[in-house]
Chains A and B, each alone.
Chain A
């Protein structure tokens, strides 16, 4: 709440990306009699909104924060504190993103509900509990992916290029500009089984297929949480050995 400028930036971003995209898709769907590949505009709108609302959490910024700590030498100070560095960074990131996320999500959801309506698939009892579970899973997978990118700073001079590529993989496979329902088959499979797609599974929850695949997708998220968690543990324990804390 102390950072109204950031709230403005997040709102502008969601309007620029999601708002304009939805206007474009509304036009495109109207040209196709309201349905493309069996999907309605309302479903696509909510799916894309979930993507853009999710990214206002800014979980991906954890990699830049870790990179800055490492390149500035601040990591030395943080490691000497009686807290676990990575969990401190993760909670800090979640805390920083919660307020813009809540505000933009509430505003966006109300606007969408009033303009395009709520699809039937979001009115079933299964929707909200599974959305919550997959949302929590998505936050953890996202934090883990970007933590790995950030930790690479211990070995690589500049991890920004890797960050860009990972970020774009998440953007494509998460269903940002092209909703997952419109993916070609092979791309849909990559989105399903890769950690990049799993990090934004919330975009799958609005489609009819969700009622039959939700447990599979949540299992995939769990799988990636375990695998990526293991990788982080391995990388961090190796990285810490490279740091010499001098104190003073």
Chain B
């Protein structure tokens, strides 16, 4: 296990070094993505101004929500950016090289690529959570909760992403299907959490766990709710185990297209 992790870290380091070679593009991607993300804060803050406070959610909570989601997205798609390329790997036949690798396939695929813009998300997310902490005068317990929840939410985000991208093995040209499914998961995680009530809230917590990434963590930090924390922790384990099982089963459907694809 330690060897696998060591290899994953080595692959991530090499990916970052490779991306940073194109310095201007690398920096523009990071800055561009950070600016891009501000759009969601602007939208939801004006939403609150227009319709008033809903479900107890203030502008500060929106900043917290964007922070959690951006960090999850940034961590997963920068350091484990290879998972996003799974439809390409499968359709082009370049997945062969992962099958032949003696390393863990999921880890090898995930760390096969690095997305510089993910760092922009990460930076943006960290800044958002810092601002959130300051605005809510966070106590030490709340700061620790934020750190713990970032870890749990990232694992959920990664696991759900793995499940969605595993669909790539089931269709010939799965890129569009995967995009559609991923949008179904990601979009609600960026929406105003206070407006999710009743059945809609239950659906996006237990069926498509979009709210477990940002909305529920914000509410846990705000209310210091240990009950909700337990729910998130349990679902983190369930989704992680489920994603590994689904990925391994999906890989069995892979058929090599016998294209000559080496390295990368």
Interface residues of A (CB under 8 A from B): 3, 5-6, 8-13, 15-17, 20-21, 23-24, 27-28, 31-32, 36-37, 157-158, 160-162, 164-165, 167-169, 171-172, 176-178, 182-184, 187
B176:A6 contact, CB within 8 angstroms = yes
Sorted nearest first, the 8 A-B pairs with minimum C-beta distance are: A161-B32, A12-B180, A9-B180, A168-B39, A9-B176, A164-B36, A182-B50, A158-B25
B184:A162 contact, CB within 8 angstroms = no
B54:A31 contact, CB within 8 angstroms = yes
Does B197 belong to the interface (CB within 8 Å)? yes
Residue in B closest to A170 when the chains form the complex, CB atoms = B39
B29:A158 contact, CB within 8 angstroms = yes
State the total of A-B contacts with C-beta under 8 angstroms. Answer: 117
**A160-B180 CB under 8 A given contacts A36-B51, A168-B39, A178-B47:** no
Q: How far is the CB of B112 from chain A (nearest CB, A)?
A: 20
A16:B188 contact, CB within 8 angstroms = yes
The A interface, classified by DSSP as helix, strand, loop or mixed, is helix
The B interface, classified by DSSP as helix, strand, loop or mixed, is helix
A13, B184: Cα distance in complex, Å: 7
Contacts of B42 in A (CB 8 A): 172
B49:A184 contact, CB within 8 angstroms = yes
Q: How many residues of B contact A (CB 8 A)?
A: 43
A21, B180: Cα distance in complex, Å: 16
Interface residues of B (CB under 8 A from A): 22, 24-25, 28-29, 31-33, 35-36, 38-40, 42-44, 46-47, 49-52, 54, 117, 171, 173-177, 179-181, 183-184, 187-188, 191-192, 195-197, 200
A178, B40: Cα distance in complex, Å: 10
Q: How far is the CB of B22 from chain A (nearest CB, A)?
A: 7
Q: How far is the CB of A219 from chain B (nearest CB, A)?
A: 27
Q: How far is the CB of B188 from chain A (nearest CB, A)?
A: 5
User: What are 11 A-B pairs with beta-carbon distances under 8 A?
Assistant: A3-B176, A8-B180, A11-B180, A16-B183, A158-B29, A161-B29, A164-B36, A165-B32, A168-B36, A171-B39, A182-B50
Q: How far is the CB of A196 from chain B (nearest CB, A)?
A: 11
Q: How far is the CB of A154 from chain B (nearest CB, A)?
A: 15
Q: How far is the CB of B207 from chain A (nearest CB, A)?
A: 13
A157:B25 contact, CB within 8 angstroms = yes
Residue in A closest to B22 when the chains form the complex, CB atoms = A157
**A9-B32 CB under 8 A given contacts A17-B187, A178-B47:** no
A12:B184 contact, CB within 8 angstroms = yes
A160:B32 contact, CB within 8 angstroms = yes
Contacts of B40 in A (CB 8 A): 177
A178, B39: Cα distance in complex, Å: 11
